[in-house]
């Protein structure tokens, strides 16, 4: 048998380079970084936006439509969030597209508060949500 017909040992992959910064140590397999206060605030802002859209749908529409909009608006927002913004997003997108979709959900909740006659709640939520979004977005890009 010639040497060309003999199977050879596959090439071994090169080891991954060590972490570039000491601030980001390698985590053991199956674990993730602990949650920070910014992560928790971002989660609270998400939940507040979804609940706001449900309240808006149930409170601002006449009877047959309030059920449709009260359930449909937060479901649509959750679907968009899961597709593009979630940490385990189904469709990975550029970070700026991710930020735009996040801002779109927060803006819809803000406009909903304005439509319900509570502009200060909308403004306060918008300031908190955008601040938390900018901080968490900068951490992801760093």
Per residue of the chain (142 residues), give pLDDT as tens.
566 667 776 666 666 555 544 555 676 777 777 888 998 999 999 999 999 999 999 999 999 999 999 999 999 999 999 999 988 889 999 988 999 999 999 999 999 999 999 999 999 999 999 999 999 888 888 7
Q: Give me 81's structure tokens.
A: 């969030």
The neighbour count for residue 131, using CB atoms within 10 Å, is 13
The phi-psi region of residue 117 (left if phi > 0; otherwise alpha if psi is between -120 and 50; otherwise beta) is left
Q: Give me 68's structure tokens.
A: 């449709």
- Are the beta carbons of 85 and 102 closer than 8 angstroms? yes
């Amino acid at each position: 048998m010639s040497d060309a017909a003999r199977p050879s040992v596959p090439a071994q992959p090169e080891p991954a380079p060590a972490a570039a910064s000491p601030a980001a140590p390698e985590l053991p397999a199956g674990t993730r970084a602990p949650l920070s206060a910014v992560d928790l605030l971002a989660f609270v802002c998400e939940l507040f936006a979804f609940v706001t859209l449900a309240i808006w749908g149930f409170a601002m529409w006449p009877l047959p439509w309030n059920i449709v909009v009260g359930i449909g608006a937060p479901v649509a927002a959750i679907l968009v969030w899961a597709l593009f913004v979630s940490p385990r997003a189904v469709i990975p997108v550029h970070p700026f597209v991710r930020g735009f979709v996040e801002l779109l959900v927060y803006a819809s909740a803000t406009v909903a508060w304005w439509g319900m006659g509570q502009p200060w709640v909308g403004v306060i939520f918008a300031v908190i949500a955008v601040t938390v979004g900018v901080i968490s977005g900068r951490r992801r890009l760093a």
